Structure 1
């Protein structure tokens, strides 16, 4: 794991080291898990993983007074969906005392 960043490959390797399962099978399960979350979000479903958190789509309101950051020119932005994650109670408690920012 490079620094504080954890990639999908790092997760697969960690599961392999802890459980001794076949890396190919682990990759298939992790990829399938991520695909299921994406598919559910695209269908505007809420995904609740008890003890971890909730994924959902929130609608961000459109704005007429937005600005293009490169040109400064005014632009209008339509309402659109954004993926959101709300941590569960257990995850909130587990990370409560972390005081250093990840690099």
Structure 2
């Protein structure tokens, strides 16, 4: 299942008993702030959100002899930035729990 920003807004709206119209600008502001902070990374940054995880912008090394798998051509890939997410202990522990047989069959 794919969740959208609207689903998150709806969930917060129900949880806090506030209309979705009031919640949406706040959710937008949080997401925009995280995105802007990551885009302003010079060249790296780390955004830590307790009990959720850490967003990082990391620099990759240049690859002078990368290979295009489709054409088998050797190409140069310059160094660039990439994002990385590391879940918190709380989230990791939940995700590590074994799935029930019924849950696996539904997926």
TM-score computed with the length of structure 2 as normaliser: 0.79
Q: Is the 8 A contact 1:40 1:46 kept in 2?
A: no
- Larger mean CA deviation between 8-17 and 70-79 belongs to 70-79
What RMSD, in angstroms, separates the aligned Cα atoms of the two structures? 1.7
Structure having the higher helix fraction is 2
User: For residue 76 of structure 1, what is the aligned residue in structure 2?
Assistant: 76
Q: Residue 47 in 1 paired to residue 47 in 2?
A: yes
C-alpha separation between the residues in 2 aligned to 1:9 and 1:60? Answer: 33
Tell me which structure has the larger Cα radius of gyration: 2
C-alpha separation between the residues in 2 aligned to 1:24 and 1:69? Answer: 47
Q: Residue 34 in 1 paired to residue 31 in 2?
A: yes
Give the number of the structure with larger relative contact order, counting CA–CA contacts within 8 Å between residues 6 or more apart.
1
